[in-house]
Structure 1
Amino acid sequence: MQPCRAQHPFGSGSKRLFWGKDGKARTPMRKLFKSEAKAGMSSPTIWDDVGLNQHAARELEVLFGEKAAFETPKPEFLLQRIIHIATNTGDLVLDSFAGSGTTGAVAHKMGRRWIMVELGEHAQTHIVPRLRKVIDGEDKGGVTEVTGWQGGGGFRFYRLAPSLLEVDKWGRWIISKEYNPAMLAEAMCKHMGFTYSPSQDKAEYWKHGHSSERDFIYVTTLAMTHDQLRAISEDVGPDRTLLICCKAFNARIDDFDNLTVTKIPHAILSRCEWGKDDYSLKIASLPEREPPDELEPAVKPAGKAKPARTFAPTLFDCDED
């Protein structure tokens, strides 16, 4: 006796339900035509309605007034489709090879946050001007009309500095030879949460930065001795505190209540979370920008205990828009 096969619209009789090309698949599949697709359904494999590289090239010509040096720019409608499928409003979009900045431009117009990374000079010659046009509402092309974009928001442009540390031939972490004293002082101020502001007074050579009106930082590649620290401690005085970042030190640190001394490689390595798999990025919402928390002026405690320091690491060499 043969089983009855009902002619249901999605039954096997209509050839809309099948078990793979050879008919032996364990899980049945259902054919669905584009005209039957509904909102929320999976996107088709072939996208023939998101534009071509030629369209993207014309978009760049309109923005920059000349042909941009990109062989395969992506059209904004392609990025819109991808971002729409993969994210929701307010989500963070990352493009590690930013190229002409299409990802950031489209993500911005769609109300997403974004991070772009680019090594080429066009990071400044193309990406930054393009995003400024988006923010100022001067970019009228691409997905501007369909997203209802009229301008707004902002971004921060960071230049990544070379690594502060390198490994020597004995496997020890040392300060990179690319850093001169001024670069090292500025980098350490940023790493340790201080404002880089070297004193112009030669007598206050130890003032490379500050975190408050009474808390300062001094960065040196010297190996500090007990006598050197005592002399600096006397200059600092009882009403101020100083963080000394040095190559090495040999002293009884507890003798100086107004000094905190740390070795530079150790100070940096202690701030690196080696082996951590999940880094949660805290990206501030623009245009509002929260000012950094200022350290409370250190108060000399009773006995030999020193006040605890709280550092807020930041990137350095940054411009803002």
Structure 2
Amino acid sequence: MADDRAERIAGFIAPLRVKPGSKVRLDRDFDPRYKAGLKKQEGIELLRTGVSLLAEYQERLAAQDTFGVLLCLQALDAGGKDGTIRHVMSGVNPQGVSVSSFKVPSSEELDHDYLWRYARRLPGRGEIGIFNRSHYEEVLVVRVHPEVLARQKLPGEQCGPDLWERRYREINRWERYLTDNGFKVVKIFLNLSKEEQRTRFLKRIDLPEKNWKFSAADVRERRHWDEYQEAFSEMLSATSTKWAPWYVVPADRKWFARICAAAVLAHTLMDIAPRFPDVGEEARKELLVTRRELAQEAPAGVPADPYTAGHPPAGRSGGRSGGRRKKERKGRKGRKGKKGKRG
């Protein structure tokens, strides 16, 4: 059953995956309004299934305590990062998930290398860490706004024309280091169209309850749309690797974007295939001893073990074995036959 689910999910997200080594051009290769032929109501049901699947595998991930997962979310303003996190992670145990948002770097952060502040927020083993914006800001915002780069205090010779290629290599190596140490890296770019962004900005202005979400800085960034599209295209081309692939998720339809994000994360967890640990023979013996002690403490009229009373083993129902039910049916048939002879 798990293999069937894994196969279906892999097929669903395959069109979203950036093939390592491919040359990406966003406006040509990925449609922000793509929805795989689904209708919204179908999508709502699929999202519920995906959230349930995530909850199941997150529990295994935490119990095994061997692997960790880092999910990087990138998008332009109004791309739907916050809503995606809220809906996709709605069914998981919050104790096993951390969300980190990265704003303008502090003076302390600027006194370290550009990956330092991201490394400090990495998840532990058994955890899912989500970067709401990530280390990829260092080849996106910093590239579009050279004044940000100037604040990073790099030695002059390190700011040459090969800076971005060097950062791509450094990021790829860092992510390879993480995966080699048991931390899976999965990356999602929420691909929003310019017209949909315009519509969402207007909604934030028109609805009083959404005014707090709007910032004039968002509109100023929109003026750099073409520069960002080029920066995203180059980033996807250079940093989608076999060990840490990029998925370009169509974001014009929020419901579909959330399904895709859930599927990508579920695929990552199913690929890890975490298992509940085997406690071992000695520990199992101790459990059985403890079970007997607890069963003996049951008050009068109460099942010794309420769980097994309510969850009979396979082949049992309502406390009667299959064999006993067969005997009872046979007995009833015999009594009917005797009555017929006497009649």
TM surpasses 0.5: no
* Larger helix proportion of the pair: 2
* Larger strand proportion of the pair: 1
Higher RCO (CA-CA < 8 Å; seq separation 6+): 2
Q: Report the structure number with the largest CA radius of gyration.
A: 1
TM range (shorter): under 0.3
